Amino acid sequence: MRITIFGTGYVGLVTGTCLAEVGNDVVCVDVDAGKIARLERGEIPIFEPGLEPLVRENHAAGRLRFTTDAESAIAHGRVIFIAVGTPPDEDGSADLSHVLAVARTIGRNLAGHAVIVDKSTVPVGTADRVRATIAAELAARGVEVPFDVASNPEFLKEGDAVKDCMRPDRIIIGCDSPHAIERLRALYAPFNRNHERIVVMDVRSAELTKYAANAMLATKISFMNEMANIAERVGADIEHVRLGIGADPRIGYHFIYPGAGYGGSCFPKDVKALGHMARAHACEARVLAAVEATNDAQKRKLHGMIASHFNGDLRGRTIAVWGLAFKPNTDDMREAPSRTLLEQLWASGAKVRASDPEAADEVRRLYGERDDLVLCDAQYEALVGADALVVVTEWKAFRSPDFERIRASLITPVVFDGRNIFDPRAVEEAGLAYYGIGRGRSVGKP
């Protein structure tokens, strides 16, 4: 099938590559000529395990092409995906300017029937606006071209996006056109062989499903962080609690890990956007407000623990930070808890020595060169001259460190485990003070 994808960001590039991998003829279009040139050279703008070889193989095979020529890309596609960004506006709502700009471009160039698919995460009612925008451009041209609009939200996890795309849990299709539904069923048939994964519904329900899914996952994280804070006060260990409640199949073990708060490109943005959408329809979303407030507070927790240990004075201290990306297996630092911590440490007069397997370049882009920031290639290099170690991202390389080496390197023998990846007793037996999230049995003494 001939596929066109507007947007070569995270969603567009992964989706286009996976559709090409199963034999489709895919053209990805973007207004950023520099990005298109880099993709043509095989340079991938994001870090995502397994993506780079697939892009290069399918590009070499001619199934995956990149262009800035929207007119030719629209002429190519029987299915046209809109996969551009929907960043938060100042009021927390989703900014649809990029989505509607693509819709206008489609309306100005569409010459034959196509199924227009909203892949971006968009508020309920966006498909109606896309349809109206395309229709208005066609009317301005004085032509009648049949088209359908569908919602097909993505459910890709950063770090597992290729696997999620190739082996999806579910494929949501929101559409009222039987013809468009059948075309999308045919498109997704290679991903649907093992068992039925396609769920067909109306457009508005599909649009809300994406927001509801992310809000539910964010809610689980904030709930566990609140339980962790209670555990600290009452002397319980949240890791024991996590295992106890996770054994209940109604709850399960996924997304009940306490930590330093959630970040990334989806959860913070989508919780805000869903709350704004609710208020716009005179609905008070109390749970969403609590989820967001709890997460904002949790991002500040590590700094509070560090400051408390050093009696409220971090001036002149050097803090080693392991992990900067918002989660492992990505270089994405959007809304990352590490950013909150870094900025709080600098405001307190502390310096930072940090290490992350993938996110160093992103840190440089965000913060530039600073006297109070040293980025280290090796995790143990970050410990040199540091007063404390803080773990912010649970990369696998950090999970089984040499605690004796950590003890010997630090000026002050203390570890702040923002993801509860260490056994407190193992840390303390090495002569290090241990602070975790909700680990009530530990009082931060070696």
> What residues act catalytically?
266
Long-range contacts made by residues 306-314, C-beta under 8 angstroms, separation at least 24? 306/345, 306/388, 306/390, 306/416, 307/348, 309/388, 309/414, 309/416, 309/433, 309/435, 309/444, 310/387, 310/388, 310/412, 314/345, 314/348, 314/349, 314/350
383 φψ region: left (φ > 0), alpha (ψ -120 to 50), beta (else): alpha
Calculate the dihedral angle through the C-alpha atoms of 379, 385, 386, 387, rounding to the nearest 10 degrees: 150
Alpha helices of 159-299 — where are they, by DSSP H?
161-166, 178-188, 203-234, 238-246, 267-280, 286-299
CB atoms within 10 A of CB 417: 27
Check: CB of residue 353 under 8 Å from CB of residue 379: no
Compute the half-sphere exposure of residue 344: CA atoms within 13 Å on the CB side of its CA. Answer: 18
- Partner residues linked to 433 by β-bridges: 414
